[in-house]
Structure 1
Amino acid sequence: MNKTWWKESVVYQIYPISFLDSNGDGIGDLRGILSKLDYLKELGVDVVWLCPIYKSPNHDNGYDISDYKDIMEQFGTMEDFDELLREAHARGLKIMMDLVLNHTSDEHPWFIESRSSKDNPKRDFYIWRKGKDGGPPNNWESYFSGSVWEYDDTTGEYYLHLYSKHQPDLNWENPDVVDCMHEMIEWWLKKGVDGFRLDAIAHIAKAVGLPDGDNPHHLPTVRAYDLFSNLEHVHTLLHQLYTELLFHYDIMTVGETSGLGPEEALSYVGDTRGELNMVFQFEHMQLDAVSGGSGKWDIRPWNLLELKKVMSNWQTVLHGRGWNANYWCNHDQPRPVSRFGDDGRYRVESAKMLATFMHMLEGTPYIYQGEEIGMTNIAFDSIEDYRDVETHNFYRDQLKQGASEEKVMQAIRQKSRDNARTPMQWDGTKEAGFTTGTPWIAVNPNYREINVEAALRDPDSILHYYKKLIALRKEHEVIVYGKYELLLPDDPEIYVFTRTLGEAKLLVILNFFGREPELQLPPELDLSAKELLISNYAVAGDDDLGGTVRLRPYEARVYMLQA
């Protein structure tokens, strides 16, 4: 078994603009993060993942980078970052940067040169094509709706952007681009950063010839999505990055790779591949989307049997061959307690249950800021209150197609990326202690009840429960490296699994709903010696697991069966 620090770590993701504002301008910043390093250390996490802090015009909250070697002015200075890195390391915390390699900002000097003329030396740093039949070069659709092509008057050609028109895709077929990106990455590594989350890394290679594909949102024969995602050349480029550079540093890497299952993921994270440590999979994030519908916005109820199938597949296929990155939430996803739990009556119980599940799986757990206090989705009344470019594009396009505003807003309140982007709720004072000014996006009104200060005072809070989960993971090696086995696969309400490492066996029991189902464990499970490690109810339930046990709403229990 290959034991490494990044397998044993717990990662905390920070969305800087919404974490903590230190100077009253309504925008979170590096000095705000610096002031909360002790909070993160006390929580027990090991790695702090920073969403992009590079210089950017901020059309997509920093994922449009105009200078990879400078800091966005609203976040502070490079001196602030250097101090943050030093102080984090002094506390035993590692810093993982969010790195966008697929595209830059349209205000990056490379793109400014590229669009200036067809014979500029930087022209082929990006993907330019002539139009076809009076329109774009092909029919690919952007992730933010509309064509991936933007016409540019200066040279009379189109440039490709899988995301916003302000995020032109780099041309990784150009060796000069590869060299420039490697040099930039090494610059950060020499500065002392401890790893990278590679944004949209599955898209850095496109199909030769850029052919048309079927609409990616409908049942396909050849989906456009397959023409710019997870192509073989991506692996060539990542292996080159690893062998020439990353191999020489003891860092962690995680890739954002949508559209693949665990077998395909092994081509990125297999122990002998020499590419990435782990990838974020999206299959469980798509369980509440209508298959063949218009992306994530067509919502359906998710069911536990599908979740079991997806998660069990990833747990079993990667065991001993690769490594999982486990998460419920990030800056692009709704709050888990609102999506998979109950953000009303059973908010505390369901948030603890969801946390138990994610921290007891094999793989590195990721906590998104505010998840540890059970922050919920936001329900703004007006589209004007939302800031996310994807949300505004969806709203505009749906109204053009004749959808009712009420229906569109209902989908936005469930799935908008801004659900995760409202300010961190530190205390019950005005603006939740996030800022002394006006926040860049409104604070969730429930901050008076849901905040860090209140959670720290309450020994039975979600926050203290997270601390216990993280401490257990550091205490019991079986939680990190144990083999996963699903029990009761056909039970529609209860998720039960074991983790086994040598003589140690962990039993995890999770009621995923607000009802009180009966649990009857398989008779062959040896329950003769058991110890309750953690439960999300203050008073433990019936400990006689040998018979039929009635679970309470969203109840979670973890037992050590053998030690």
Structure 2
Amino acid sequence: MIDDTGPTPRRGGWPIAPVIYEIYPRSFRDTTGSGEGDLRGVMEGLDHVASLGVDAIWITPFFVSPHVDGGYDVADHRQVDPRYGTMADFDRLVSRAHDLDLKVMIDQVLNHTSDQHPWFQRAIEGDAEFADRYLWVDPKRDGTAPNNWLSQFGPPAWTWNHKRRQYYFHQFLACQPSLNLRNEAVQEKHRAEIQCWRDRGVDGFRFDATTSYLYDTSLKDNPPASAEVQDKVSGENFVPYTYQDHVYDMLPGDGVAYTKKLRDWAGDDAFLLGEITSGNQSVELASQMVATDQLDACYTTDMPEGKGTPKVVADILSRQDKTASAWWMSSHDQPRHVTAAGDGSDRDARLFAMQCAVLPGPWMIYQGEELALPQPDLTKEETTDPLDLLYWPDGPGREGPRVPLPWHEGADHYGFTSGTPWLPMRWPHGKAVMRQSEEDGVAAFYTELLKIRKKYRLGEGSWTVEEATDHLLVLSRETPEGHFRAIFNHGQEPRDRADQEGDLVFSSEADDGLSARVGILLTRP
């Protein structure tokens, strides 16, 4: 059991364990007929988001970008990409969110830039000052790359540039050269960018790929991964990246301490969320990064990659020494979990939602999961995501959750756009926002669940894992509002709960028993 009422004091009006709704603006709502969502569309859809009872929104990158990697290849971190609107649109969005009592969190992509960024172009032209803001290295005598480092997508992490006759380093795509975050000019740039968005009313930041910020300057080869390590490295085990133990290309020495700079730049009242992409030792790294003068929480890929099973939840809880982990199942980078981890049913959508809701720490909801949206099937010709295409048809399925949100049942393109949506929309009947918000819809269930979570402060307090088998998870929770037992039957057969004493508080199904694929919350006697 761990006694912890939250990793940090309340900051800037933020709850200790906020519920954060992720918005991928390109697929949220289109107001121009371009077929792509925009910031005005986000603003117009905030009433629905606020009605769920969440505390904040996280908006993924809307910055100037060639959009090779979904906007995470940023060419200008301080300007709105015209495809999404204007800075005035962003200001109106922030104002509207605050009127609805929603905090606003945006992405900060500090690890890399687009290869179209002016800095990188200056480096290619031979400017030594700008070259030092990235990592350029001479080839070995035989012309090969400096070491064996691989990008997280699998191909080598080094790309040759014939003009400089050097290799440059990139943790992700070749069009995303990694920045040298030890460089003072890079640090000043990031500090100024963060301050720019704080000045515009942003309340917090989600930091992309925090475990990729720093590399060991020795540039030693990574050793092979042991079988145990390979099983834990983030990503499918057919991706060569998982064959290495990433001890030199990610977070050496002072990497964890770098989060203190992020806190200093963002201010004491901002809520800071870090993304952990290491896989190996992910929860332990999250715990090291969370402190009063560091981040407020981190999230790892353990939950979605492990399908949110009882043993996965128990493993995460056993490895963290505070409420460092934010809980989630789907995102713009992970397939929709009602299909990936469940059978696509509303029943499974409710089960996973309730499981996340009663776990200690922040909860991240991805747009459309409150509608129980399944993972769409896309053809290779319809797919644009480079990682999905690299391993087609066995890629991670990143494009599926980016299919635009259905708003109105029966309307052209479900009311998302008056034009042609950038990805085809083939949603099942009954999944639109205006349908699911009805009394018996999954969105209505989310709304009631969030009320229960807030009333009993389930994101706070201590926990004990009483039981975790292939199909059963039993948690004992103590919060500032009482003592509870949460029971989740992930199996396909009903279970007897006669020995589970306590009055029913809430259930993911209509009955109060342990039917198949159900979660229940009881008061502890």
User: What TM-score results when the alignment is normalised by the length of structure 1?
Assistant: 0.84
Alpha-carbon distance change, 371 to 99 in structure 1, aligned in 2, over 3 angstroms: same
1:131 to 131, 139, 142: 139
1:39 to 40, 44, 48: 48
Distance 2:291 2:321 in 1: 8
Q: CA deviation at 1:430?
A: 2.5
| 3-state SS of paired residue (1:12) | strand
1:433 to 399, 408, 415: 415
Q: CA deviation at 1:501?
A: 3.1
Aligned to 2:218: 209
1:383 and 2:380 are equivalent in the alignment: yes
Distance 1:287 1:15 in 2: 23
Aligned to 2:316: 311
Preserved CA contact (<8 Å) 1:131 1:157: yes
1:505 and 2:469 are equivalent in the alignment: no
Distance 2:324 2:258 in 1: 20
Aligned to 1:242: 263
Aligned to 2:447: 467
1:356 and 2:354 are equivalent in the alignment: yes
Q: Which one has more relative contact order, counting CA pairs under 8 Å at least 6 apart? A: 2
| 3-state SS of paired residue (1:183) | helix
Aligned to 1:454: 435
1:558 to 500, 516, 521: 521
Distance 2:166 2:329 in 1: 41
Distance 2:464 2:227 in 1: 35
| 3-state SS of paired residue (1:312) | helix
Structural RMSD (CA) = 2.1
Distance 1:43 1:82 in 2: 23
Q: CA deviation at 1:502?
A: 5.9
Q: What one-letter code is carried by the residue in structure 2 that aligns with 1:497?
A: L
Q: CA deviation at 1:493?
A: 1.4
Question: How is 1:115-514 mapped onto 2 (pairs within 5 angstroms)?
Answer: 115-117=124-126, 119-132=127-140, 133-214=142-223, 223=244, 225-243=246-264, 245-246=265-266, 248-258=267-277, 259=279, 260-271=281-292, 274-287=293-306, 304=309, 306-314=311-319, 317-319=320-322, 322-343=323-344, 347-380=345-378, 382-395=379-392, 409=393, 411-412=394-395, 415-428=396-409, 429-446=411-428, 448-457=429-438, 459-477=439-457, 479-489=458-468, 491-501=469-479, 504-514=482-492
Alpha-carbon distance change, 499 to 441 in structure 1, aligned in 2, over 3 angstroms: same
Q: CA deviation at 1:215?
A: 5.4
Preserved CA contact (<8 Å) 1:12 1:366: yes
1:533 and 2:496 are equivalent in the alignment: no
Deviates more, 1:553-562 or 1:347-356: 553-562
Q: What one-letter code is carried by the residue in structure 1 that aligns with 2:27?
A: S
Distance 1:285 1:502 in 2: 29
Preserved CA contact (<8 Å) 2:286 2:299: no
Preserved CA contact (<8 Å) 2:406 2:427: no
Aligned to 2:233: none
Distance 1:502 1:166 in 2: 48
Distance 1:560 1:277 in 2: 29
Preserved CA contact (<8 Å) 1:341 1:513: no
Distance 1:476 1:502 in 2: 8
Question: Aligned pair count?
Answer: 500
Deviations 1:253-286 (A, max 9, x none): 0111123243332220034xx2111111222333
Structure 1 unaligned residues grouped into runs of 5+: 289-301, 396-408, 543-550
Q: CA deviation at 1:144?
A: 2.3
Q: What one-letter code is carried by the residue in structure 1 that aligns with 2:256?
A: H
Alpha-carbon distance change, 30 to 267 in structure 1, aligned in 2, over 3 angstroms: same
Alpha-carbon distance change, 450 to 305 in structure 1, aligned in 2, over 3 angstroms: closer
Distance 1:156 1:371 in 2: 48
| 3-state SS of paired residue (2:71) | coil
Distance 1:503 1:442 in 2: 46
Alpha-carbon distance change, 416 to 556 in structure 1, aligned in 2, over 3 angstroms: same
Q: What one-letter code is carried by the residue in structure 1 that aligns with 2:253?
A: E
User: What TM-score results when the alignment is normalised by the length of structure 2?
Assistant: 0.90
Distance 2:442 2:30 in 1: 24
**Relative to total residues, which structure has the larger helix share, 1 or 2?**
1
Q: CA deviation at 1:218?
A: 6.9
Alpha-carbon distance change, 202 to 172 in structure 1, aligned in 2, over 3 angstroms: same
Preserved CA contact (<8 Å) 1:378 1:444: yes
Distance 2:484 2:224 in 1: 45
Preserved CA contact (<8 Å) 1:8 1:474: no
Alpha-carbon distance change, 216 to 30 in structure 1, aligned in 2, over 3 angstroms: farther
| 3-state SS of paired residue (2:523) | strand
Distance 1:268 1:474 in 2: 26
Q: What one-letter code is carried by the residue in structure 1 that aligns with 2:16?
A: K
Distance 2:466 2:380 in 1: 44
Preserved CA contact (<8 Å) 1:318 1:324: no
Distance 2:248 2:366 in 1: 31
Alpha-carbon distance change, 212 to 484 in structure 1, aligned in 2, over 3 angstroms: same
Structure 2 unaligned residues grouped into runs of 5+: 231-242
